[in-house]
Chains A and B, each alone.
Chain A
């Protein structure tokens, strides 16, 4: 469903250019969930944005559902892939009600039946009609993230991208959102690509995992291998060690 071939994103030019992502290649099968882990600056978010089509100057091939994506995507191509962002506070327009936030993608994609779709979408993410006409500042972080998920899924994409979707949420709310994502994935047969710095969250949702460091994909492994510690690359081991928490012997 997703295929990346030598995707490179460079900022700046010439001697001062930095490669935020360099020669990144991997595939994700339909219905599979693939996680990208790494520290800040590792390029994982850049790769995600490249798949989303948010980076104009990416080099390399990004193929979605068997179709190579051009530099400027068509409306139909845009419908294939949607994204849920990290910051529930920043991902919704402060002057738009939940209703408007959900109606907007329907209007842009020319999908009719707005009333039905919006109501169904809200139900699906566990929100009620009382939330429909609220503004973002009247919702909690978890509720905003649910709206963001509803907005992403209302156009029925085949691929869902997730950029640290629960990092800004409390533990208890995180569990609810993760469960929601698990359920929606099953119900809609979504292919997911998720970025996180939290190994436990990645291993919970994803079967296969890619580890990035300094813009390069250094290892491809599985969630089970992470759990058992059966990993090859040094950086992966470092990440596993840090994930285990503080050890005064370190």
Chain B
């Protein structure tokens, strides 16, 4: 038994590689084991190399690990690309037809004819991944009942014939391993806690965190790797009375956020680097007009179309400084899936409280990462509200009142006496266009003054994390 185990499954997209990994994750999450995964997606629409790496541990783990203990390869390409990451004493399971160029003296190599078992013996090629799952469950000593339970859960609604096929595939996978694999249960699942855990991806955690924080208006445009946020919300936001609107581009999405937010709705959009570039002008508007908004950027390889399915953390500067002039915004970067939930919820609190745009920076790896999350995160949703005012009907409402405090009270459009204009032009307290030096300076100071208040806000206290030795000689400051 070992406390920490890293498993990688590699093959071709469409072979069910991800399903094997996800099943492993679900079983482990129910056993209370901590999980972090890393997935790669092919650039192709169908087919192409893909892999999933699952790290399982008794104790909470910060990332998905590097060298793997157990490598499963479903074809030659997968083997060629992934063998270098297998530990020197690791276990390799691969398709029988794969060639191993070098001797593997310290590694245990198992070859199994997954393809033949699926196509010849079962008569259905698509059951191949379940055969692999059977083999894997033998090697890892998974409880057969639990695995069968998952197969039933997944296939029962597709009819008895499909279910039987898959049960058969599972059994044949187990049998093959039992007959041919000599080293008995080299790896077993780490010991978990009694508490079942939630299992979700970074994108799901962001969408869930936003919904929990009270976001009800979402505007977005499809872009890899952020699309799942919109997709999750398209299914779930209407259930709580929210609205998801797919716009014709990113400019439109962020402008819709500006419109909905000005009208009083807690709103957000999500995108990736190319979309953030398009949104830059409006980020300046949100800052100038002091409109709360949350923008999630799931970074991908750039510039331009770049590498849409690959991860890269290269949008920090555009997130901080994108848009011309001096425009205020807050940039937050979560470090784990549970952090995605908490940071997104906090982003809304900051945006609404301080009336400015907040950008949440994640990346493809975190967006797609499946990770176990403690249920307690659901209790940590910050409470917040906009500083609103009910204006006197005969009064003269000043939207951008300078009162020594950086945040001016908002009158919702439609309230009598609260009629006002928000504008991207430099303005005085009433929103009137002003281009004199004094007003521009005073208003810029007002807008940037918010950042000082945010620094000391208790909401931000959990946004930093210190790891390692208190008395270390060298410190590394990093983000995301």
Q: Are both chains from one complex?
A: no
